[in-house]
Amino acid sequence: MGPNTATTAKPGSVDDQSVDAPLLEPQVDNQRDLPPEPSGVMECEDLNVYYGDFHAVHDVNLIFGRHEITALIGPSGCGKTTVLRCLNRMNDLVAGARVAGRVAYHGADIYDSKVDAIEVRRRIGMVFQKPNPFPKSIYDNVAYGPRVIGMEVDDLDSHVEGALRDAALWDEVKDKLKQSAFGLSGGQQQRLCIARTIATKPDVILMDEPCSSLDPIATSHIEDLMVDLREQYTIIIVTHNMQQAARVSDRTAFFTARPDETTGNRTGLLVEFDQTKTIFSNPSDRRTEAYISGRFG
Amino acid sequence: MAATVVAPQVLSTSKRGHDSSAGSLLFLAALWLSLAMAIVFLMTLVVTTAVDGAGRFDSALITEYGSKLTPDTTGLRAALLGTLWLMVTTALLAIPIGIAAAVYLEEFADNTRWYNRLVELNLQNLAAIPSVIYGMLAVGIVALVGIQRTGIILVGAVALGLLILPVIIITTREAVRAVPREIREGSLALGATPLQTTWRQVLPSAIPGIATGTIIALSRAIGEAAPLLIVGVAVTVRFDPTGIMSAFTAMPIQIFNWTSESREEFKVAAAAAIIVLLGMVLLLNGLAIFIRNKFQRRW
């Protein structure tokens, strides 16, 4: 991996963001040398998702590279969250959801009838849009994952500490581990949810708009954290915030929604997938360019 | 700055929240009157009963067995103990089944299946069935499993358990449903099984609601006489219950028995017993409110 220019928190990053916002083309400050093709940890082949009769996502082909951050961007209703939730079979929980095509994890189809969805989710963790700590203590929130999956850890206390340190939360909570997680701020709760996820040592971490309910300072904490975590994990993030995609991701997939002529239902499809710097500086599809430059979506 | 000064909008002075037209005042008065009627009737009932029973608020009421020969010192001992035994047995029978059924319906049942929808539909109806029917059902059930005696605690508890089962199921489902989906998803996304998620996240979070609903259900059951009469509970018992197979009597039955006596002493004892029963119900409801307030969780 190339030298990582974005791991250190820039003191002025919050202000930078407000300066960046009116720019038509967000600054890509996450430049590093990437292989032209991602070395696939996960792969979608002709992925189609249906909710009952509704065709939510059409023919998505994507490869998610190891130790890379892949951002899924696009306007509302373009199916990016649906694609994300297919990657660890969270869509199984939605009544009527049906997945066609192939989602491969290290070459194995996670939708194979012999594959256990529980096992999939142990390898592919997920952080949600709204921070969702359990109504338990901070410690128990982090220890929950290792406990339920029967993870063999030498010392649970130091394991919890390690996860909290990795999530850049330890210093803030080390004196109140037994207190309720609900007492934390929104940004801290979201980092707790990240700590909870990495405590189970997943391979891939899915993040569904993890900063959408957070203020800019908390957002910049999470973004710095994501870039740090890239060293150990493969991260796939859905975001509405193009600046965020530009700041943190290595590769970006742009989705859009195509209305059906007869029903008016909008089906999501992948328009373009490339290195983030290419997507933001030299997109090959006009729709991507229009979205990036703020002309639609 | 531009010179366009917008005049501040003059706020209307009429208070919409306190509409003072004659019609609305009349309506408000009618509402207050309705409330007053309910409270006045209730208080009259409680106060007159308390006055009637005033002569019998003594220790004998609690410690003595019911007696036809010494109406002055006739007591509730057997009925009190019987009711306690009955309630505990009812709770032990109904609560686990009720919670399990509710959790199945809410967390695991596939609502597109006709049999699950049938259960749904019937649950609502079951809660409205007259209690007498449950007494007959209990007698039928124990006859099927081969228990010959019916006037025992176990059979009474089966009747009352069946009676409150729909209430427990409905309130437990409400409590389980109130646990946010995000909590379940968070647990499942960590690789927990649905069973672990239910057991470690959903149920602990739902316990206050479940406890409240269950206690309210028990406080309904404690005053039921009809199903126990059908079951054939004894009216005069002069021994303490010793187990779930023991014959017994219960508070409502004892009260029923005393009110049908002609002698004045029994009327007084009945009134006192009613106040004791009322106190027990209030105690249970108070406990439910306490639990609800103490453990209520805002998501």
CATH number (domain holding residue A96): 3.40.50.300
List pLDDT tens digits, range B231-253: 888 888 888 888 888 889 999 99
- Specify burial of residue A35 (Cβ count, 10 A radius: 0-12, 13-18, 19+): exposed
Using the Cβ of A93 and the Cβ atoms of chain B, whether some distance falls under 8 Å is answered with: yes
Q: What is the pLDDT along chain B (299 residues), one digit of tens a residue?
A: 455 556 666 666 555 555 678 888 999 999 999 999 999 999 999 999 999 998 888 888 888 888 888 888 888 899 999 999 999 999 999 999 999 999 999 999 887 888 888 888 888 888 889 999 999 999 999 889 888 888 899 999 999 999 999 999 999 999 999 999 999 999 999 999 999 999 999 999 999 899 999 998 999 899 999 999 998 888 888 888 888 888 899 999 999 999 998 888 899 999 999 999 999 999 999 998 888 888 776 65
A217: three-class secondary structure by DSSP: helix
Q: Do B185 and A88 touch (CB under 8 A)?
A: no
Q: Does any domain span residue A12?
A: no
Q: Does any domain span residue A154?
A: yes
State the alpha helices, DSSP H only, in A154-203: 156-166, 170-173, 186-198
Predicted pLDDT at B3: 53
- CATH topology for the B80-295 domain: MetI-like fold (1.10.3720)
Using the Cβ of A186 and the Cβ atoms of chain B, whether some distance falls under 8 Å is answered with: no
Q: Provide the edge-to-edge strand list for the sheet that holds A69-73.
A: A108-109, A97-105, A40-51, A54-65, A266-275, A251-259, A69-73, A234-238, A204-208, A124-127
Using the Cβ of B297 and the Cβ atoms of chain A, whether some distance falls under 8 Å is answered with: yes
Using the Cβ of A193 and the Cβ atoms of chain B, whether some distance falls under 8 Å is answered with: yes
* Min distance A131 CA to chain B CA atoms (Å): 9
Q: Does any domain span residue A278?
A: yes
Using the Cβ of A100 and the Cβ atoms of chain B, whether some distance falls under 8 Å is answered with: no
Give the range of the structural domain holding residue A183, as residue numbers without chain letter: 38-292
Instruction: Indicate which of B190, B198, B199 best probes the interface with A, i.e. most A CBs within 10 Å of its own CB.
Output: B190
Q: Does any domain span residue A4?
A: no
> What does the DSSP assignment read for chain B?
--S-PPPPPPPP-S-GGG---HHHHHHHHHHHHHHHHHHHHHHHHHHHHHHHHGGG-SHHHHHSPP-SS-GGG---HHHHHHHHHHHHHHHHHHHHHHHHHHHIIIII--TTSHHHHHHHHHHHHHTTS-HHHHHHHHHHHHHHHT----SBHHHHHHHHHHHHHHHHHHHHHHHHHTS-HHHHHHHHHTT--HHHHIIIIIHHHHHHHHHHHHHHHHHHHTT--HHHHHHT--S---S---STTSB---HHHHHHHHHT--SHHHHHHHHHHHHHHHHHHHHHHHHHHHHHHHH----
Q: Does any domain span residue A218?
A: yes
Domain count, chain A: 1
